[in-house]
Every structure is written in structure tokens, then in C-alpha cells.
Amino acid sequence: MFLFLLIYNDYVNVLKLGIIILLTISIDTSARVFDDLFIVRIPQDDYEITNDGLIMAFNKITVRLTGSRNPAILRVINSLGLNKASLVQSYKVIEFEGKSLLEVIFNKEPLIKLFRDQKIPIYGVNRPEATILAKIDDGLNPIFYLSEDRALGNESEISAFIESLNDLSRERGLHIDLPLSDIAFSQNINSSNVLNNLQESLKSNYSYGFVREIEVFRDSIATWTLRMAANNYRFNDLNELFQFALVNIDKDIDNLLEIDANKDSQGSITINALELKSFEEYENFQAALKEIFSISNIELLKANKERFLFTGNIESSIMQIKKELYAHSYLQIISFDEERRNIDLKLIN
């Protein structure tokens, strides 16, 4: 018995180590840039003429940049009588994942200027991430966690849900991750301690992101239950369950992308760029700083061997600046004096 316990404990420790290694590989906490922020794809079946497709693309880019589906935002833009096609850099029909799509690339600078001129806050390319930790018990197979490489009896429903998550990611302009792609727990192993440690590891890595935990289990031949946010919801159809979960994940994203706009904290800000050792690093720093949409009118004030001093305007709030900087892949906050509105930043190579 003692020998069995030693072997069991060693197995659990190896499993924990494997989980930690996998998390280290699959969760890049700095990979929060949404590179295709200004690229929108519209299914050809959704429109009849190209101009309608371009208008649909503009409506989608508005939701993506503002983080909101509030119709009042579009009403403000529409009242300008603007030719929305003038904000398009290029468009073409492509084949993507077996579908014919209108791919629209928007002209970044004029689009940003449009929203800023109308005092509509927008979120930069450095965005929070949503992580889905979904435990599935179909009553037929060992309990497993949702991943893109899982193929079981309910494969079609699970695949459809994963594809819907991918569509939602593209629509809202942020990454939705399923980090447990290769982890499955045996029914014979009591892994509750491992799971608790895993959940805490995930949460600690996403301080400016979000981890949504859900449980899906079959409670009879004909019914399924979804456990989410300490509530249970029963469904007769697995697709309906996943659709309900998707709607709630979309609400989570509403909260994630809500822009903190505080007029009391708006005004000018000073940015100190520390330890720039070459002109190339200076250019990289300046480009990275322009990815922070909550700061506008960035100008170099002065420079010396120790630092480069920039000035800019706070578009939304100090809190929003901090949110975008904490999610930035190439900028690190060294110090932030909120009262004096002075920030020291370092370029991460």
C-alpha cells in the first residue's frame, strides 16, 4: 500500500509538471496583439452588392474598435454623411476556411482620426485575452477539457462551438484561447488538486484578461446541464447549450473591452523612454507607443543620452492607458506617477 501511494504521488507530481510545462509553451502572456484589427471579412452570402459589403465591414470595425455594440455610436458616424468606402484601403474576395469572403482592409490613420474627432473612445491593438476552461462530461468518455483536437461522439457540436468561438474572436478583435489542447484527465485519477493549481496558474497569468470556467455534463439520455458562474442551466439540445454559453462569453467580452473614459483624468501626459541605445530602438519605441490608442498627438519633446522625452494627450483615461500598456508586447512600465501624469517606459527587445 505504501509503495502504491509513492507511485501514485509520483504520477500526480509528473502530471502537475506536465501541465506547468504545457502552460509555459501554450500560453504566451505577451502575445496579446490582435494583428488583424483593421481587417474585416464578410461572407459573400451576407450581401448583394459590394458597397453593401463595405458598409457591413465598417459597422463591424466600429464594434471591434469601440468594444461596444451601442447603436448610438453608429448613429453619430452616420449623421456625418460620410462616404465609408473612403476609409477603405483595399478589398478583395478571398477563400478562407472553405468560404468565399469579402476581405476589407481599412486605412488605419484616417479611421482612428474619425473616431477621435467625434470623441468616441477606441481600444488599441494590445488587448486583453479571454481564456475558456471548459470541462466536458458526456457520460460516455473520460472527462476532458475542450480543445481543438478532440474528436468524440459529440464532435459536430463541439467543433461547431469551437468554430463559433473563433468567429467571435475575429468579430470582437481579441484572442479567445483554449489552452488545454492536449490535457485529458483519467477517470481513475483524483485530480482535483491538480485542477485547482491549474486554474490558479491560468488566472495569475491573465491579470488583464479573463478566464471563463464552464462545465458541461449529461444528466440523462436526453438532457444536458451547463454550469457557469455558480449557476446551472438545463438543455435538451447540446447545440442550444453551447449557443447559450457563447452569448454569455460575448457578454464577458463586453466587460473586457469596456473602455474606461474619465474626463477628469484627461489632458496631457509625459512619457520618458528609458535606455534607447540606437535610432532603430527609438523608431521601434515610437511605433509601439502609437499602438496605444488612449494616447494621441504623440511628439518628441527632447532627447539626451539617458532618455527620450515625449508628450501626448490622454484620449480616454489614465486607467485605460495602464490597461493597454499592461497588455503591450514591447513596452514595460517602469514607473507611473498618476498625479503628475508622468510615465517611464522601457522597450522590451
Domains of the chain in start order, with CATH, are 2-27+127-256 (no CATH), 39-117 (no CATH), 263-347 (3.30.70)
Beta strands in 182-228 (DSSP E): 210-218, 224-228
In this prediction, residue 335 carries a pLDDT of: 94
Confidence band for 245, pLDDT divided at 50, 70 and 90: very high
Q: What is the pLDDT of residue 262?
A: 81
Maximal C-alpha separation, the chain: 79
Predicted TM-score (pTM) of this structure: 0.79
**Mean of pLDDT values over 165-178:** 91
Q: What would the grid cell of residue 180 be? A: 488545454
Strands (E), 178-328: 210-218, 224-228, 231-235, 267-274, 295-303, 307-314
Query: Given pLDDT bands bounded at 50, 70 and 90, which one contains residue 179?
Result: low
Q: Cα–Cα distance between 108 and 118 in angstroms, integer?
A: 16
Q: Are 198 and 192 in contact (CB under 8 A)?
A: no
Distance from the first to the final alpha carbon of the chain: 53
- Rounded Cα gap, residues 218 and 136, in angstroms: 9
Q: What was the pLDDT predicted at 156?
A: 83
